[in-house]
Amino acid sequence: MRIEIFNRYRSIAALCICGFLVLTCPVTADAAKSGGREVEKEVTLRVCNWEEYIDLGDWDEEETIELDSGDIIGENTMIEDFTQWYYETYGIRVRVEYSTFGTNEDLYNMLTLGDTYDLVCPSEYMIMKLMTEDQLVPLSEGFFDDSDQNNYYSNGVSPYIREIFEKNEIGGRPWGDYAAGYMWGITGIVYNPGLVSEEDASSWKILNDPDYKRQVTIKDNVRDSYFAAVGAIKSELLNSEEFKDDPDYQKRLEEEMNDTSRETIAGAQEYLQDVKNNAYSFETDSGKADMVTGKVAANLQWSGDAVYTMDQADEDDFPLAFAVPSESTNIYFDGWVMLKNGIGEDAAKQHAAEAFINFNSRPDNVIRNMYYVGYTSVISGGEDMRIFEYADWCYGAEEDEEEVSEYDLGYFFSEGGEEEYVITAPSDQVYRQLFAQYPTQEAISRSSIMVCFDEDQTREINQMWINVRCCNIYDIPVWVWVFAGASVCVLAVFGIRKLRR
Amino acid sequence: MIRKVWRWMVIIFVLLFLYLPILVLAVYSFTDATNIGAIRGFSVHNYVTLFTTPELRSMIVGTVALALGAALIATVLGTMGAIGSFYSRKGMASAITTMNQVPVVNADVVTGFSICILLVVVLGISKDTYIPLVAGHVTLCAPFVFLAVIPKLKQMDPSIYEAALDLGATPFTALIRIVIPQIFPGILSGFAMAVTLSLDDYFVATYTKPATFDTISTYVVNATKGAQTTIKTALWALSTVIFLLVVLFSAVMNIRANKEERKAV
Amino acid sequence: MHRRTFSRKYLGIPYAVFLLLFIVAPLVVLIYYAFTNGQGEFTVQNLTGFFSDPNTLGTLCYSFGIAMVTTAVCLLLAYPLAFILATSKLKGKSVIVLIFIMPMWINFSLRITALKEILTWLEGNLAYHPFLNTVLGMSYDFLPFMILPIYTTISKLDGALLEAARDLGAGELQAFLRVTLPLSLPGIMSGVSMVFLPAMTNYVVLDMLYNSTYIMGSLIGSYFAAYNWNGGSMIALILLGIICLFTLLTGGAEEENTRGGALL
């Protein structure tokens, strides 16, 4: 009889094995196919980018961006379009393996643990760290050749950004030699003007403000939170007249915001522990949805996410606003860098990687990415006016709009020529999306970059971060100890009685 | 005895506790809503998204392939180990059993962490080869197969094997045709346990998976942190689909069991 | 004539090798990392550091707290249910048991997502009650794992023992307390061991339910992210030590039971 049962279950077992083979069939077929395509050379490009940071296509018809120079719509993902463009332009097939990361530290961790990538997009302090560790491949000379029409980056990057990338150095080498910018922005607070006053939102101290208990969110990564914490504990100093009037303001601001002395770290730890009890959550991406659905009243956000959030909320007729704290703000640049252990000496890969950067810097693709993600691209377009047109299309006031203000974007777009880059926008945009997308000179003037920390400093702030999140044993209320002690006694009594029997 | 009313209340209460969230999600997956609490209208767009998004499809296929593959390897290893340990000297048997207990009582996080440290950090095997991932899952599942087969071995009648040998069968043939069929229910339940564990696992996968591969758990955990509502609602559809599959599977198994009972009568 | 060149006990060798490679070796590596510092020198700093830092001790206590409350809640829900199911004379009992086990097959992340939506709808702002939500989430996740072993143990109990007790004059409650409960203890222990340690280390439930406090699992995760293998390994060893302690205390006697075998 047992043999019969065996026979019956044999069919189930066979079914499972067949199912397994069927499922893995596509995988093996794929491998066989690419093996057969050895005739055409195929370059594999491994890209790792932030999550939700590139156009994934599939737009609705009504989302078409109608500019004077032509319509722009994203039908396919940017990756597919790149693969096709690369083949049409250079005749080589490229296969892009695209993965994502959530924070710079996650990316660094992945790289340390042996994940190899060719092209990644970290923030400026991580770029600096990778540069000091000599892990990057410098951009080739051909990349900066202005005469090549396909070098969209070199031809289109905003002079303002280009200057920053050339001015900032680490280890004697400017960023611009190794990194090509992708998106930039500042950090600030997205808030619900109905619940939060502009005054409250203009300070980092809103995070541990008990008036907004469990109504604020903070970022779940140590650098952004540390920046906000330092801003909050040094609020008086940073807001003081004499600090702001200091001729060396920029330099001093950078020093103060990147300070890692014992007292500052201890102060920040205390502050963040208060925030932990006051905040709704430590988030990376979920804050956007929580703001739009009204679950929280204020959000520590990067400007790009702020634009996205405000746009989404506008669809629900729920006006949100963006404020930049008076103490300071962090100006960040996410840029493409090529990794040595991915590219090595492979010229074909480097060419594909640089082409990927250029393709994403083509004005129409810039607009697609900016629209989809919400962040601000470093590309101004150069001679091509489409990006400015896009900004105007987004934020320009209607003919009959009454309350308008002039918003000058010359600092970003202007090549030093005669053109005027002024948008006439509805007045409230001055503190909403337009402000977040292209911050005013005034906001940028009180911004500081994040400096890359060395090993000791990194270890100390990592330790601080762990301390913040852990439950401190002295915080456990007394009644818990009493209860635990009593339970242990009761269990011990039972145990002894059982043993004695 | 405990009155009937109380019995049924307990059963129903626990049933509700276990199933209410899943059922609510099932209801909302058929609507247009993006949050629980506001029904906008009937729609199957979540299911369409689920089955047409290549990302989601490859993720599901990957998870199932991994589960079946790891469970197969784990079942083979675990069964061999159980048979071998059952017939070994006491010392060897108890050594195997003790080592076997470690992943059973250990937390997933520690298992995943230790496999990653050994394979990726110390031995330098790249995660892209899928070796750490499969090894991690097999390590997670094989001990449970072992534990499932051993009781059946103990219940087995040893004289049949001896009889087969006496009748001229080689030990190997006797193994295949006598021992295996007798312990087969144990092997099957071990396989089912292995599949369950592999499908449900998050931590071992997080520490050992290649960057471009996602299992259902890792995907859902990352997606719920994000802001894309279409993916969020598509995941509701996924949970409903899995739920329905599980119900179907149990119903089928139950009908088969009933048929056997009736045949036996 | 060939005799016993193939012995069944040789079958155990591949598995033993596998165990050595993937269970013993990582353990050795963990011990190595736990007792060395970054430069490879021997040190007990990791251990003493853990027990002298109020934050890590607090994390241990918090994890214990969550695990204990979760285990208690699961027991309170699972035991009556398992008892009722095992002692009832319903037809199609196995189907009903299957219904209670089925949630195990739906991925836990999907179940927690479902629970999160319900809790959000009930509570409005999940962040107000992090501890309560965490316990609810964990109990929801681990309840089926507690039901199964207890049910199997009780259903295997010899009914004659209960009858004997009743013949000797024991009342309902007494019979239960003195016969059923002690005999079902192995099942309880088995269920507890399947719930306690995961409840101490499953930080995904906390993340998804907006509890920002770290538990032991999150510590491992964050040490790992800072590629501090030494700290992470020490935490892993401490967790293993806790399990060893627990197994010793409960006599480790319930292997016969059910952990794997009662599904089909």
Of B181, B188, B226, the CB nearest to A52: B226
Residue of C nearest to B122 (CA): C29
A277 and A140 both lie in a single domain: no
Binary contact (A293, B69; C-beta < 8 A): no
In the numeric block, the tokens 């298992």 are attached to B111
Same-domain status, B114 and B237: no
Q: Flag whether residue C79 sits within 8 Å of chain B, measured between CB atoms.
A: no
**Residue B238: strand, helix, or coil:** helix
pTM: 0.83
Instruction: Give residue B7's pLDDT.
Output: 81
Residue A78 contacts residue A54 (beta carbons within 8 Å)? yes
Model pLDDT, residue B145? 92
The reply to whether B72 and B177 lie within a common domain is yes
Residues A47 and A120 sit within 8 Å (Cβ to Cβ): yes
> What's A431-460 look like in SS3?
HCHHHHHCCCHHHHHCEECCCCCCHHHHHH
Under-50 pLDDT residues of chain A: 1-6, 28-38
Q: Under CATH, which architecture does the C33-249 domain have?
A: Orthogonal Bundle (1.10)
Rg, C-alpha atoms of chain C: 22
β-strand partners of B253: none
B164 and B136 belong to one structural domain: yes
Residue pair C59/A471 in contact (Cβ under 8 Å)? The answer is yes
Determine how many CB atoms are found less than 10 A away from the CB of residue A117: 24
Q: Residue C158 — very low, low, confident or very high, per pLDDT cuts 50/70/90?
A: confident
Return the pLDDT at A39: 53
Find the closest chain B residue to C228 by CA distance. B117
pLDDT for the residue C136: 93
Q: Indicate if the pLDDT at residue C263 is higher than 50.
A: no
A471 min Cα distance to partner chain C (Å): 5
Residue A238 sits in the same domain as residue A345 = no
- Domain identity same for A321 and A434: yes
Instruction: Give yes or no: residues B174 and B184 share one domain.
Output: yes
Among C residues 126-145, those touching chain B with beta carbons less than 8 Å apart: 140, 143-144
User: Any chain C CB within 8 A of the CB of B78?
Assistant: yes
pLDDT of the residue at A294: 82
Among C4, C117, C120, beta carbon nearest to B25: C117
Contact, B49 vs B230, CB < 8 A? yes
- Can you tell me which residue has the tokens 């702002």? C125
Over the Cα atoms of chain B, what is R_g? Answer: 23
What SS3 state is found at A332? strand
| CATH code: domain of residue B183 | 1.10.3720.10
B chain contacts of residue A23, beta-carbon cutoff 8 Å: 61, 64-65, 68
Buried b / exposed e along A165-195 (16+ C-beta atoms within 10 A): beebebeeeebbebbbbbbbbbbbbbbbbee
Two tokens at A53? 């940071």
Smallest CA–CA distance, residue B106 to chain A, in Å, is 22
Q: What is the pLDDT of residue A501?
A: 64
CB pairs A-C closer than 8 Å: 68
Indicate whether A171 and A212 sit together in one domain: no
pLDDT higher than threshold 50 for residue B123: yes
C256 or A176: whose pLDDT is higher? A176
Query: CA-to-CA distance for B105 and B144, rounded, in angstroms?
Result: 11
Q: Are A311 and A432 within one domain?
A: yes
Task: Domain of residue A483: give its range.
Answer: 477-501
Whether C5 contacts B165, CB under 8 Å: no
Q: Does C222 touch chain A (CB under 8 A)?
A: yes
Query: Residues A65, A69, A75, A76: what is their CA dihedral angle, to the nearest 10 degrees?
Result: -130
* Partner residue opposite A288 with nearest CB, options B127, B182, B227: B227
Q: Residue C174 pLDDT > 60, yes or no?
A: yes
- Chain C touched by B167 (CB under 8 Å): no
pLDDT grade, residue B139 (50/70/90)? Answer: very high
Q: Which residues of B touch A110 (CB under 8 A)?
A: 211
| Angle (deg, nearest 10), helices C216-225 and A455-469 | 160
Task: Give the CA angle between residues B109, B71, B206 to the nearest 5°.
Answer: 30
Task: Tell me, yes or no, whether A418 lies in a domain.
Answer: no
Residue-wise pLDDT tens digits, C117-142: 888 888 877 888 889 999 999 999 99
Please indicate whether, in this complex, the C-beta atoms of C55 and A472 are within 8 angstroms of each other. Answer: yes
pLDDT interval class at C261 (50, 70, 90): very low
A216-219/A298-302 β-pairing: parallel
The two structure tokens encoding residue C216: 């032991």
Distance from CA of C61 to the nearest CA of A (A): 7
Is residue B193 over pLDDT 90? Answer: no
CA-wise closest residue to A422 among A407, A439, A432? A407
Give the number of domains in chain B.
2
Is the separation of the CB atoms in C106 and B238 below 8 Å?
Answer: no
Q: What residues contact residue C209 under an 8 Å CB cut-off, 6+ apart?
A: C112, C116, C119, C126, C130, C133, C134, C137
Say yes or no: B30 contacts chain C, CB-CB below 8 A. no
Return the percentage of chain C with pLDDT > 90, whole number: 12
B187 lies in the same domain as B108: yes
What are the structure tokens assigned to B29, written together? 């997956």
CA distance A270 to C23: 41
A219: tokens are: 């970022």
Question: Any CB–CB contact under 8 A between B121 and chain A?
Answer: yes
How far apart, in whole angstroms, are the C-alpha atoms of residue C201 and residue C214? 10
**What DSSP string runs through A212-239?**
GTT-EEEESSHHHHHHHHHHHHTHHHHH
How many C-beta atoms surround the C-beta of residue B34 within 10 A?
15
CATH of the domain at A256: 3.40.190.10
Determine whether the interchain pair B211/A114 forms a contact, defined as Cβ–Cβ distance below 8 Å.
no
Residue A10: its pLDDT value, please?
58
pLDDT tens per residue across span C242-252: 888 887 776 65
Q: Where are the domains of chain C?
A: 33-249
Chain B partners within 8 Å of C256 (Cβ): 151
Q: Chain A partners of C57 at a C-beta cutoff of 8 Å?
A: 473
Q: Give strand pairing partners of A301.
A: A188
Q: How confident is the model at residue C2 (pLDDT cuts 50, 70, 90)?
A: very low
User: Could you tell me if B112 and B163 lie in one domain?
Assistant: yes
pLDDT for position B138:
94
Q: Decide if C226 touches B, using CB distance below 8 A.
A: no
Which chain A residues are within 8 Å of B127, Cβ to Cβ?
Answer: 113-115
Instruction: Give the single-character DSSP code of B120.
Output: I
In this structure, the strands spanning A93-101 and A119-120 are unpaired
Judged against a pLDDT cut of 90, whether residue B69 lies above it is answered with yes
Q: Virtual CA dihedral for A437, A442, A446, A449, nearest 10 degrees?
A: 40
The nearest alpha carbon in chain A to C182 belongs to: A498
pLDDT for A276-335, tens place per residue?
888 888 887 778 888 888 888 898 988 888 888 888 888 888 888 898 888 889 999 999
Both A127 and A107 in a single domain? yes
The answer to whether residues B90 and B194 belong to one domain is yes
pLDDT at position A36, please?
Answer: 46
Answer yes or no: is A395 within a domain. no
d(CA C170, CA B263) in angstroms, rounded, equals 41
Give the single-character DSSP code of A427. G
Residue A75 placed within a domain: yes
Q: What does the pLDDT read at residue A14?
A: 60
> How far is B23 from A91, CA to CA, in rounded Å?
53
DSSP A336-391: EEEEHHHHTT-HHHHHHHHHHHHHHTSHHHHHHHHHHH--EESB--TT--HHHHHH
Task: List A359's β-bridge partners, or say none.
Answer: none
- The CA angle A159-A163-A168, to the nearest 5 degrees, is 155
Q: CB contact, 8 Å: B191 with chain A?
A: yes
Computed over every residue of chain B, the mean pLDDT equals 84
Specify if B109 maps to a domain: yes
Q: Does C31 reach chain B within 8 Å, measured CB to CB?
A: no
Question: Which whole number is the average pLDDT over C201-217?
Answer: 89
Residue in chain A closest to B157 (alpha carbons) equals: A2
User: Number of structural domains, chain A?
Assistant: 4
State the Cα–Cα distance between residues C80 and C143, nearest whole angstrom: 13
Q: Is residue B208 part of a domain?
A: yes
| Facing B124 at nearest CB: one of A16, A48, A114 | A114
Q: Are residues A293 and A309 in the same domain?
A: yes
- In tens, the pLDDT along C89-113 reads 766 677 777 788 788 888 888 889 8
Neighbours of chain B (3+ CB pairs under 8 A): A, C
Residues of A with CB under 8 A from a CB of B: 2-3, 5-6, 9, 12-13, 16-17, 19-20, 23-24, 26-27, 48, 51-52, 97-99, 102, 110, 113-116, 283-286, 288-289, 293, 308
Q: Give the pLDDT band (50/70/90) at residue B72.
A: very high
B40 touches A: beta carbon within 8 Å: no
CB-based contacts of C41, cutoff 8 Å, min separation 6: none
Beta strand spans in chain B (E) = none
What pLDDT, on a 0 to 100 scale, did the predictor assign at position B243?
87
Residues of B in contact with C239 (CB under 8 A): 106-107, 110
C217 touches chain B (CB under 8 A): yes
**Is B51 contained in some domain?**
no
C63: exposed, middle or buried (Cβ count in 10 Å: 0-12, 13-18, 19+): buried
Q: Within an 8 Å CB–CB cutoff, is residue B127 touching chain C?
A: no
Domain that holds residue B194: 57-225
Same-domain check for residues B241 and B209: no
Q: Give the Å distances, CA to CA, from B6 to B17, B161, C84.
A: 16, 50, 10
In a domain, B48, yes or no: no
In C, which residues are within 8 Å of B1 by CB distance? 172
> Half-sphere exposure (CA, 13 Å, Cβ side) for C80?
15
Residues B131, B149 within the same domain: yes
- Asked if residue A157 and residue A241 are part of one domain, the reply reads no
Nearest CB partner across the interface for C55, out of A113, A470, A480: A470
Closest CA to A192 of A280, A323, A295, A298: A298
Which residue of chain C comes nearest to A484, CA vs CA?
Answer: C65
Q: Which residues contact A99 (CB under 8 A, 6 or more apart)?
A: A46, A47, A48, A49, A117, B211, B212
Chain B, residues 194-213, CB within 8 A of chain C, namely: 196, 199-200, 202-203, 207
Q: State the residue for tokens 């393709």.
A: A359
Per-residue burial over A453-464, b = 16 or more CB atoms within 10 Å of its CB, e = otherwise: beeeebeebbbb
Residues A443 and A323 in one domain: yes
User: Three-class SS of residue A265?
Assistant: helix
Nearest CA in chain C to A461: C226
Whether B235 is covered by a domain: the verdict is yes
Look at C4 and B192 and tell me if their CB atoms are within 8 Å: no
C222 CA to centre of own chain: 22
Alpha helices in chain C (DSSP H): 12-19, 25-34, 45-52, 54-87, 93-101, 108-123, 130-155, 159-167, 172-175, 181-201, 203-208, 216-225, 229-249
User: H/E/C letters for each residue in A55-119?
Assistant: CCCCCCHHHCEEECCEEECCCCCHHHHHHHHHHHHHCCEEEEEEEEECCHHHHHHHHHCCCCCCE
Q: Which of A466, A481, A498 to mutate to test the interface with C (most CBs of C within 10 A)?
A: A466
Q: What is the ipTM metric for this complex?
A: 0.84
Query: Is the distance from CB of A82 to CB of A356 less than 8 angstroms?
Result: yes
Partners of B224 on chain A (C-beta within 8 Å) are 286
Residue B36 located in a structural domain: yes
